[in-house]
């Protein structure tokens, strides 16, 4: 699984990256996590608000930090929703 955390470095962006890494570690999820902070790269995903979470190329969360439970559901069940 390829996970990208999109954000320029604001507190919410850092929080989403930290929470994502925690859920991946706690659940032994085989994933590569990449932090994308280049605004030109972020714009390629057609999002206007950060943070955003991209799983296998699909934007699944944007403009907010999901709960740990929601992150776990997204990452373990591959249920993608906005």
Q: What is the pLDDT along the chain (82 residues), one digit of tens a residue?
A: 999 999 998 999 999 999 999 999 999 999 999 999 999 999 999 998 999 999 999 999 999 999 999 999 999 876 555 4
13 is catalytic: yes
Residue with tokens 């992150």: 71
Q: Domains in the chain: how many in total?
A: 1
Pairing of strands 2-6, 32-36: parallel
Q: Looking at the domain assignment, is residue 82 inside a domain?
A: no
Question: How much is the pLDDT for 82?
Answer: 47
pTM of the predicted protein model = 0.89
List 10, 39, 43, 68, catalytic entry: 10
Q: CATH number, domain at 17?
A: 3.40.30.10
Q: Which domain holds residue 38?
A: 2-77
Q: Looking at the domain assignment, is residue 51 inside a domain?
A: yes
10 is catalytic: yes
- Spatial separation of the C-alpha atoms in residues 50 and 26, rounded to whole Å: 25
Angle at 48 between CA 69 and CA 59, to 5 degrees: 45
Residues β-bridged to residue 17? none
List 5, 6, 13, 55, catalytic entry: 13
3-state secondary structure of 1: coil
């Amino acid at each position: 699984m390829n996970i990208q955390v999109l954000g320029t470095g604001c507190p919410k962006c850092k929080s989403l990256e930290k929470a994502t890494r925690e859920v991946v570690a706690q659940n032994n999820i085989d994933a590569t996590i990449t932090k994308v902070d280049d605004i030109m790269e972020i714009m390629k995903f057609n999002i206007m608000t950060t943070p955003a979470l991209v799983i296998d190329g699909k934007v699944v969360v944007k403009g907010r930090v999901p709960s740990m439970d929601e992150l776990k559901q997204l990452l373990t069940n591959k249920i993608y929703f906005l």
